[in-house]
């Protein structure tokens, strides 16, 4: 990454924000209401509520595609090798360190490599792929099939940013890249930048709830697990409001390679889930169920 660009960005942030260091996770300037466009998953970085990080400061490090949804989805030219809706992100072949490699005896169920409903999240959060590495850019003639499995910076450099300087670097959510500024240790180059280190999961998944873990086939009274009674296709879900629909606020488990497993999207919805109905603030960290009083844990676990 070009250190001069980092320093110039820092100067802009210092002048515009008055913050000395990124030593805390600064409160979000997004409203976290209404749509994904008002959350930190809006990678254009131009939020609805004013006064937040200026997208121009981010432009040298990722393409601003103007469209919020295109960082993950495209109506045309979507990925053909993954079973995700209109998927538009590069999905590198990556091997993850899982709890099965820890030698622990505390787990009663087998753990495999993450399934597709975790890999979609990890395509950003494992820090292996640029946040703007997509297959099909907005507009005609901006599609590259090989982008499905491999990041091509020459292809990404072809984008012309209409709202600021073109990207010369395509940052990953990792140390030395996006976290050069979004890190408490960044010093003055991270002035005014929120701390995103918690979002840098990496490829060692042993510090998080297991994903790719088989949900116990024996559940209900007398066991350690509740029964997800709702069924939609191959997905089982906990029908929290009893309406018979798999809503965004319902924890779910996915059929992956013939076994029903817990994945990242079991507990998280990247689009945001209102805390108390339409118009209310989304639940923190994109959770489907707020974990106050361990409510999220107790959705599945009987303890």
Domain ranges of the chain: 3-67+150-194, 215-303
- Residue 237 DSSP class: E
What are 99's two structure tokens? 């709890």
Q: Which residues of 195-221 are buried (b: 16+ CB within 10 A; e: fewer)?
A: bbbebbbbeebeeeebbbbbbeeebee
Cβ contact 98:112 at 8 Å = yes
pLDDT of residue 139: 93
3-state secondary structure of 225: strand
pLDDT of residue 26: 74
- Residue 126 DSSP class: T
Pick from 192, 182, 71, 81: which is nearest to 131 by CA? Answer: 71
- Phi, psi (rounded to 5 degrees) for 121: -70, -45
Number of other CB atoms surrounding residue 168 within 10 Å: 13
pLDDT of residue 238: 98
The DSSP string of 244-297 is SS--TTS-EEEEETTEEEE-HHHHB-TT--BSSSTTSPBPGGGBSS--GGGHHH
**How far apart are alpha carbons 157 and 170 in whole angstroms?**
9
pLDDT of residue 17: 41
3-state secondary structure of 185: helix
Pick from 98, 16, 35, 99: which is nearest to 279 by CA? Answer: 35
Q: Which residues of 12-25 are buried (b: 16+ CB within 10 A; e: fewer)?
A: ebeeebebeebeee
pLDDT of residue 1: 44
pLDDT of residue 19: 40
Work out the percent of the chain whose per-residue pLDDT is above 90: 73
pLDDT tens per residue across span 95-120:
999 987 666 567 889 999 999 999 99
**How far apart are alpha carbons 135 and 91 in whole angstroms?**
10
**How far apart are alpha carbons 30 and 239 in whole angstroms?**
29
Pick from 211, 186, 252: which is nearest to 21 by CA? Answer: 186
**How far apart are alpha carbons 260 and 256 in whole angstroms?**
6
User: Which stretches of the chain drop beneath a pLDDT of 70?
Assistant: 1-25, 48-54, 101-105
Q: How far is CA 232 from the centre of its chain?
A: 24
Q: 213 vs 163, 235, 295, CA distance in Å?
A: 44, 15, 20
What are 256's two structure tokens? 């992956």
Q: Look up tokens 């980092």; give the residue.
A: 6
């Amino acid at each position: 990454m070009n250190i001069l660009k980092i320093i110039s960005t820092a100067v802009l942030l210092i002048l515009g924000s008055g913050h000395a260091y990124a030593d805390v996770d600064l409160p979000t300037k997004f409203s976290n209401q209404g749509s994904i466009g008002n959350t930190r998953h809006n990678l254009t970085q131009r939020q609805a509520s004013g006064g937040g990080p200026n997208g121009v400061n981010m432009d040298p490090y990722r393409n601003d595609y103007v469209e919020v949804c295109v960082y993950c989805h495209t109506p045309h030219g979507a990925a053909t090798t993954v079973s995700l809706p209109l998927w538009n992100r590069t999905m590198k072949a990556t091997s993850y360190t899982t709890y099965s490699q820890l030698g622990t005896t505390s787990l009663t169920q087998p753990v495999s490599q993450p399934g597709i409903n975790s890999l979609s999240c990890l395509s950003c959060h494992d820090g292996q792929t640029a946040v703007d590495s997509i297959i099909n850019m907005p507009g005609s003639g901006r599609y590259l099939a090989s982008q499905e499995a491999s990041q091509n910076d020459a292809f990404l450099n072809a984008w012309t940013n209409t709202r600021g300087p073109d990207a010369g670097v395509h940052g990953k959510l990792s140390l030395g890249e996006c976290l050069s500024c979004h890190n408490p240790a960044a010093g003055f180059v991270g002035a005014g930048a929120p701390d995103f280190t918690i979002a840098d999961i990496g490829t060692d998944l042993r510090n998080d709830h297991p994903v790719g873990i088989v949900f116990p086939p024996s559940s209900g009274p007398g066991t350690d697990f509740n029964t997800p009674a709702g069924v939609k296709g191959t997905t089982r879900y906990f029908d929290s409001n009893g309406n018979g629909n798999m809503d965004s606020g319902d924890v779910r488990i996915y059929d992956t390679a013939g076994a029903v497993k817990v994945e990242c999207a079991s507990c998280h919805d990247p689009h945001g889930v209102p805390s108390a109905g339409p118009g209310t603030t989304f639940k923190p960290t994109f959770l489907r169920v707020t974990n106050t009083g361990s409510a999220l844990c107790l959705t599945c676990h009987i303890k």
